[in-house]
Amino acid sequence: SKPLIAIVGRPNVGKSTLFNKLAGARISIVQDTPGVTRDRIYYECEWRGKTVMLVDTGGIEPYSDDQILSQMRRQAQLAIDSADVIILVVDIQSGVTANDQDVAVMLQKSGKPVVLAVNKADRLGEPPPEFYEFYNLGLGDPIAVSSVHGHGTGDLLDACYSHI
């Protein structure tokens, strides 16, 4: 079966936008996956001749602030259990948050390959100073991405593919 790449992160960091950007450009089929909870959306994605399954784990239902961390942990655990590579999406506009740190520790402990996507880096060229703060998550070199514009998404996929 195809390697699974799961996208996790806080609400509003741009997980679904990233997912759509990655899937949209190279999409082949929408996976019909009976039994999969409706907050997990799968797409098949082809990049440099290799096919993977992408999953947006973020959920479609709004939930209250006090549920955010437990929901993030749940999604991260699902990704740890099922994915081959995990993309943790963070937001350069909000910087590193406590919830980012919590999930980063969880992912790091799992030993799964994690690729850190610093989203909303909309300007091309040298990343702004805030970008370097994300090294503190201890997940290796962050990758600056703009899911809206598509900048950095090729580098992001290359980093994911280096683990599969």
Residue nearest to Mg ion (CB): 16
Sheet holding 41-47, edge to edge: 27-30, 41-47, 50-56, 4-9, 85-91, 114-119, 143-144
Tell whether 96 is in a known binding site.
Answer: no
Q: For every residue of 85-118, which 3-state class applies, written as one string?
A: EEEEEEECCCCCCHHHHHHHHHHHHHCCCEEEEE
Task: Provide the 8-state DSSP code for 28.
Answer: E
Tell whether 120 is in a known binding site.
Answer: yes
Residues that bind ligand GDP (CB under 6 A): 9, 11-17, 58, 119-120, 122, 146-148
Q: Which of 13/54 has CB closer to ligand GDP? A: 13
Q: Which of 50/128 has CB closer to ligand GDP? A: 128
Q: Which of 51/67 has CB closer to ligand GDP? A: 67
Q: Which of 12/51 has CB closer to ligand GDP? A: 12
State how far the Cα of 60 lies from the Cα of 57, in Å rounded to an integer: 9
> Least distance from C-beta 9 to ligand GDP, angstroms?
6
> Least distance from C-beta 34 to ligand GDP, angstroms?
24
Q: Nearest to residue 142, comparing CAs of 76, 77, 87, 75?
A: 87
> Least distance from C-beta 1 to ligand GDP, angstroms?
25
> Least distance from C-beta 15 to ligand GDP, angstroms?
3
**Which H or E element spans position 74?**
helix 65-82
